[in-house]
Amino acid sequence: MYKRLFFSVIVILFANVFVSVNNFVVLGNNSNSTIYGPVGGPKASQHRFEARSTDIFRMLFKGAEKSVVIVCGDGDTDLDLYIYDEKGNLVTSHNDSTDLCVCTFVPRWTAYFSIKIVNRGFVYNTYVLRTN
């Protein structure tokens, strides 16, 4: 019950394009924000994927600016998040036993990065992917 409630609160926060995580605030569609993300502005989308499967997204991130990627699942399974640079090198990851993942990184230059989300569970998971 608490996981579902937590998921609902996070989704509501995403819907309002306001997320507070680990001592920083991500504001969507705010040109005065000091935290940037993908070229073209903040992104948010909801996805569902099957048990023991992987989703991969490719996004262009602005160089020399702090970027944040957040994945928030429905509470049913463990999700892990990995971010790779254009050469396939692991830049950062968040892998624990929960389905709430937060990764921050600062690209050295503007480039495409792969966002890999892995469902470690034995049932499907519906999750929200959010970038600043």
Q: What is the CATH number of the domain that holds 17?
A: 2.60.120.380
- Count up the domains in the chain and report the number: 1
Q: How far is CA 108 from CA 23, 25, 65, in A?
A: 23, 22, 8
Q: pTM for the whole thing?
A: 0.74
64 sits in the region (left: phi over 0; alpha: psi -120 to 50; else beta) called left
Question: CB–CB of 59/103 below 8 Å?
Answer: no
Close Cβ partners of 49 (under 8 Å, ≥ 6 residues apart): 55, 117, 119, 124, 125, 127
- Residue range of the domain that includes 57: 2-131
Question: CB–CB of 117/81 below 8 Å?
Answer: yes
| pLDDT, tens only, 90-128 | 999 999 999 999 999 999 999 999 999 999 999 999 999
| pLDDT, tens only, 71-94 | 999 999 999 999 999 999 999 999
Question: CB–CB of 78/120 below 8 Å?
Answer: yes
Helix (H) or strand (E) holding 7: helix 2-15
